[in-house]
């Protein structure tokens, strides 16, 4: 993880940029965009969970999900198990059950992975995870970090889940990321991706190399 002071600053920024109505609106617009462009990931999205279902599934998880993550799972409980279709750019949206399976696997191998007890993976691509370092008491929002098993540093990547989803939607609407076939694979303009990321996540480094 980044130094403690930077983590505390990131957490403060996450709270400042929390916007529950904005997140809900973004998720609805995102789903409409995917439907309009006939992305196959739409058919893989699972129904949302109730708060009681979320609480039951996470009863053995040692931390509490932030409210914005609960909102995400109430919208849709990720995608079908082992679905690799991307929701945001090239990352798939883990359903909560699968996220907890991945969590347990990463924790069992923590002597190799360095995975911490409060880290919950949300989005996945072949060993690359966007995750939230959940707290022991519920808060509105927390920063999004990027973990990649071949890179030892943990990247602070989005102010919070609200800005991450807004970034993803704007990528699609501006064609910075776009569908290239009926299988759901995406193309991208890395320069535009980076610029939009910086606009919506000021002060947060775009976590990919831009030529």
- For the chain, what percent of residues have pLDDT higher than 70? 94
In whole numbers, what is the pLDDT of the chain averaged over residues? 92
- Has residue 181 got a pLDDT over 80? no
- Has residue 199 got a pLDDT over 90? yes
**pLDDT for 39-70, tens place per residue?**
999 999 999 999 999 999 999 999 999 999 99
Q: Which domains does the chain have, with CATH numbers?
A: 4-200 (3.40.1580.10)
**pLDDT for 114-170, tens place per residue?**
999 999 999 999 889 999 999 999 999 999 999 987 666 788 999 999 999 999 999
Q: Give the DSSP per-residue string, the chain.
A: ---HHHHHHHHHHHHHT--HHHHHHHHHHHHHHHHHTT-THHHHEEEPPPHHHHHHHTTTSSSB--HHHHHHHHHEEEESTT----SBTTBEE--HHHHHHHHHHHHHTHHHH---TTEEEEEEETTEEEEEE-BSS--S---EEEEETTEEEEEEEES-HHHHHHHHHHHHHTTSEEE-STT--EEE-HHHHHHHHHHHSTT---SS---
Question: What is this structure's pTM?
Answer: 0.93
């Amino acid at each position: 993880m980044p130094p403690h002071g930077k983590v505390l600053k990131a957490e403060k920024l996450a709270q400042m940029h929390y916007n529950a109505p904005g997140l809900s609106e973004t998720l609805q617009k995102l789903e409409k965009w995917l439907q309009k462009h006939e992305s196959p990931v739409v058919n893989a999205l699972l129904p949302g969970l109730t708060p009681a279902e979320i609480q039951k599934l996470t009863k053995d998880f040692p931390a509490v999900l932030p409210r914005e993550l609960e909102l995400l799972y109430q919208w849709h409980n990720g995608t079908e198990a082992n679905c690799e279709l991307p929701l945001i750019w090239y990352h798939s949206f883990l359903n909560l059950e699968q996220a907890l399976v991945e969590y347990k696997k990463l924790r069992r191998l923590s002597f190799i992975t360095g995975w911490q007890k409060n880290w919950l993976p949300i989005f996945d691509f072949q060993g690359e995870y966007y995750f939230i370092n959940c707290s022991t008491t519920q808060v509105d929002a927390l920063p999004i970090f990027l973990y990649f098993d071949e890179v030892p540093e943990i990247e602070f990547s989005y102010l919070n889940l609200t800005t991450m989803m807004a970034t993803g939607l704007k990528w699609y609407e501006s064609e910075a990321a776009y569908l290239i076939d009926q299988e759901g694979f995406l193309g991208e303009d890395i320069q535009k991706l980076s610029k939009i990321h910086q606009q919506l996540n000021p002060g947060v480094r775009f976590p990919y190399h831009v030529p």
